[in-house]
Amino acid sequence: MRATLIPVVLVLAAACICAKEEPPALQLEVPTETRSRFAALDDVRLLANGLLQLGQSLREFVQKTKGQINDIFQKLNIFDRSFYQLSVLASEIKEEEEELKKTTVVLKANNEEIRGLSEEISSKMDSILQEKSRLQEKVEGLEEKLRSLSHGLVTSEQVAEINGLRGVIHSQEQSIGELLKAVREQSDQLNHQRSKIKILEEKLTANALAQDTMERIPEIFNAEAPTLTPYLTPSSTDSARTMNLPPDCSELFNRGERVSGVYAIKPNGSEPFMVFCDMSKDHGATVIQRRRDGSVNFDQTWETYENGFGDFHGEFWLGLRKIHSLACQGNSVLHIQLEDWKQDKRFIEYRFHLDGPRNNYTIHLTHLSGNLPDSMSNHTGMMFSTKDRDNSNHQDSNCAHQQAGGWWFNTCGDANLNGRYFHMRPKWRSERRRGIQWKLGRKGSYSLKFTQISVRPVASPSIASSSFEPSVFL
């Protein structure tokens, strides 16, 4: 409709324009008679046609322009969007950078702390070395005295003093060795922290680069795509390491690790955790308890015994939860190593299974071997007890309270390796009962100098099948 109307209007308009050239009276008087008038009409038609064409091309032009303008708007939109996305990215990167900066500050503080510890340990070592040489001198003096006197004149007190000093020097020598080990471990940790900080610093520079690029956004629109900075993914390697964690120290030994120390493990079905691995024998054993100097109080609550306490490089209890997840893997051997004050070292081994928290960590033991009397087999089926949770068989007294420390008490008798650490034999029997005990048949029990309890899987399948007694574990 519209298309057909436009030519009509144009014709009329053309007619009007032409009419201006001729006197209007003439047109009205004789519209169709003279030739010249016909010729004029033809001219008008021609003109109208031309105008029509002009109009059409004008229309086309307008439409084309409209399209182009739309195009430009679209491009502007795209530009707007990309700009917005890039600014979001920029702010994200900035946030991440802030976080990294914070982490770096924390790590640097850690680093300082570790350095402080190292220095402290070194100075401690120095003072111990000094003390040692002082003691050595003293002993030498006493030995001199001893030589100068005839045997009959030396009092038994002096002999005892000399022997005592010898013992002190021996233990000092041991602690020096342990301190040296601790220093080595500290410096290892320090190096680890340093490399971590370096990675973070690299990441920071990479971020600064990205920041720089953001500031040059207009250039990027004209330039070629920038080269991507390489990925730094410490988090992904961390998770890879978690995947590859050994289920216990035995597996770590099988993988070639031969140095005793603190390692991360991940028993089947458990979260990863740190343990002390004893690699000194021809296998790896996961240490669950150690006593050696009385530096840690073992008279703790149920909750503390569940979660573990102490220091891996001194005395500690790994914790019932963790011991349970270790024992859950099956075929466990419990190895108990004891040493008395006459340096007599003995051991005993049991097939071992430990129930979970619902059964109060009931212990199941079957005697395997060793040169200690078996004081633990009849603890089988006993629940764990602490001073605040008495599950012992005893009718009218709380063993954990009477004896100090948490243990699988069976009528408060026989064995308790979590008792009080006595450097000297207590005078009273009631007091002695609170000590670290292992009943030695008729000779009675006495407080021990060193204990270590560890677990490992049964060495070979043949042993496992021959000594496996399912009924014991039910």
Residues that bind ligand NAG (CB under 6 A): 268-269, 359-360, 378, 389, 391, 410-411, 413-414
Backbone angles phi, psi at 101, to 5 degrees: -60, -45
CA distance 323 to 276: 12
243: three-class secondary structure by DSSP? helix
- Compute the least distance from the CB of residue 463 to ligand NAG, in Å: 19
Q: How far is the CB of 329 from ligand NAG (least distance, A)?
A: 7
The 3-state DSSP class for residue 328 equals coil
Cα 58 versus chain centre, distance: 74
Q: Smallest gap, in angstroms, from Cβ of residue 328 to ligand NAG?
A: 8
CA-CA distance, 456 to 458, in Å (whole number)?
Answer: 7
Contacting residues for 192 by C-beta, under 8 A, at least 6 apart: none
Cβ distance 156 to 84 under 8 Å? no
User: What token pair was written down for 82?
Assistant: 């990309």
Report the C-alpha gap between 387 and 255 in whole angstroms: 41
- Closer to ligand NAG at the Cβ: 308 or 413? 413
By beta-carbon proximity to ligand NAG, the closer residue of 248 and 414 is: 414
CB of 376 to ligand NAG, least distance (A): 9
What is the closest distance, in whole angstroms, from the C-beta atom of residue 219 to ligand NAG in the complex?
56
Q: How far is the CB of 427 from ligand NAG (least distance, A)?
A: 25
CA 470, CA 461: separation in Å to the nearest integer? Answer: 15
Min dist CB 306 to ligand NAG, Å, is 12
Give the integer Cα–Cα distance in Å for 197 and 205. Answer: 12
Which residues lie closer than 8 Å to 216 by C-beta, 6 or more apart? none
| Amino acid letter for position 428 | W
Dihedral over alpha carbons 254, 255, 257, 260 (to 10 degrees): -50
- Minimum distance from residue 174 beta carbon to ligand NAG (Å): 33
Q: What minimum distance in Å lies between the beta carbon of 460 and ligand NAG? A: 18
- CA separation, residue 50 to residues 21, 22, 36, 110, 185 (Å): 19, 21, 21, 89, 99
Measured from the CB atom, the residue of 182 and 327 that comes closer to ligand NAG is 327
Q: In the structure, how many helices (H) and strands (E) does the chain have?
A: 12, 11
Cross-strand bridge partners of residue 457: 332
CA nearest to 115, candidates 172, 186, 19: 186
